[in-house]
Amino acid sequence: MPIYEYACTACGKEFEKLVRASAPAPACPSCQSTDLRKKLSAFAAVSGTASAAADLPGPCGSCGHPEGPGACRFN
């Protein structure tokens, strides 16, 4: 089951929801509106050998964010 990111067009709240393909559209946890917009989400996939993991960036030097330098926007 994928996790989708949504933005409610009624109240502006952004949230994530684990959604099954056969499930009805979720409702906003803040205002219960179903007038939602799916947000474009980034994802990462590592496949292959252990050397593929070595190609991933190291933690951010400023805050330790696991996505690497600049991911936290403090750099």
Per-residue pLDDT at 52 exceeds 60: no
How far is the CA of 46 from the CAs of 1, 20, 24, 30, 72, in angstroms? 18, 23, 31, 35, 21
Amino acid at 6: Y
Q: What pLDDT sits at residue 1?
A: 62
Q: What pLDDT sits at residue 25?
A: 81
Mean pLDDT value of segment 19-35: 89
Mean pLDDT value of segment 3-14: 92
